[in-house]
Amino acid sequence: MKKLIIEPSLWELFPDSEVGVLLLEEVNNTEAHQQLHREAIEKLLQEAGEEARKYLTEPVVSQNPVVAVWREAFSKFKTKKGVRSSIEALLKRIDKGTGVGSISPLVDVYNSMSLRYALPCGMEDLDTIQGNLRLAVSEGGDDFFALGDEEASETLPGEVCYLDDAGAVCRFWNWRDGQRTMITNQTKRAIAVIESVDPSRHDVLLEALDTLAQWAEELGIGKVYKKEILSRENPSVELE
């Protein structure tokens, strides 16, 4: 039975972290479906962008608490120059006034939740995951082909990443997804993760997960069949 497993190496660095997991089936992420719900999706993104401004109380994006906590987290494991959490990248776009554009129904919904709750949120095509999906500290050398890149790369020893039997799925925790497991208009089942390293935001994480589930079903882009919060006491969930 395929699982998502958060390994002990992650808990050693971040014992209070949590990962919200949402599993979707009967996914409809097609362009036709996007056109059908374009107005609602665009409104969701726009309102989330406006809501996100409340987190930008400091003049420098990295000094805002919801970003600073991830800056601190990224300082505890191996990264490369310029790597930042996904929520920092999104909030920088809001701060600059460029906003976050529409990509596809599923991507738009999880980006909206990330902005609304200021938590990193990502999604993968569940049927492209080979073996168990693991969040762990890598030993290095795991194959990876990042979105937007023209050449493959390998994980570094000591970096936090999502891995499966074929290599890396998302590098530097939530920095960038790979092409192999990305959400496409052919996706039929998906796994969403929402991550928190701040235990004071537990209730926010719960609300974000619930709201993501609600919008996925209201927009007809996926049927929720499992929802779970992973923690040190509950480090795995079956994906089938």
Q: Which CATH number characterizes residue 129's domain?
A: 3.50.40.10
Please give the pLDDT value at position 147.
85
CA distances from 186 to 24, 35, 120, 125, 128 (A): 14, 16, 24, 9, 11
Burial of 145 by CB count in 10 Å (0-12 exposed, 13-18 middle, 19+ buried)?
middle
Please give the pLDDT value at position 167.
97
- DSSP of 131-151, one letter per residue? S-EEEEE--S--EE-BTT-SS
Residue 218 CA to chain centroid, in angstroms? 20
Please give the pLDDT value at position 132.
98
- Residues 159/32, Cβ–Cβ less than 8 Å: no
109-140 as b/e, with b when 16 or more CB fall inside 10 Å? bbbbbbbbbbbbbbbbbbebbeeebbbbbbee
Residue 112, C-beta contacts closer than 8 angstroms, at least 6 positions apart: 44, 45, 47, 48, 215
Low-confidence residues in the chain, pLDDT < 70: none
Report the alpha-carbon distance of residue 31 to residue 225 in Å, rounded: 24
Based on its alpha-carbon atoms, the radius of gyration of the chain, rounded to whole angstroms, reads 17
- Residues 222/216, Cβ–Cβ less than 8 Å: yes
Number of domains forming the structure of the chain: 1
Residue 82, C-beta contacts closer than 8 angstroms, at least 6 positions apart: none
CA distances from 112 to 6, 38, 61, 115 (A): 25, 14, 19, 5
Please give the pLDDT value at position 189.
98
Q: What are phi and psi of 218, to 5 degrees?
A: -65, -35
For residue 160, the cross-strand partners are 137
Given the structure tokens 């882009």, which residue do they identify? 221
- Residue-range definition of the domain harbouring residue 166: 3-238
Write down the pTM of the prediction: 0.96
Please give the pLDDT value at position 158.
98
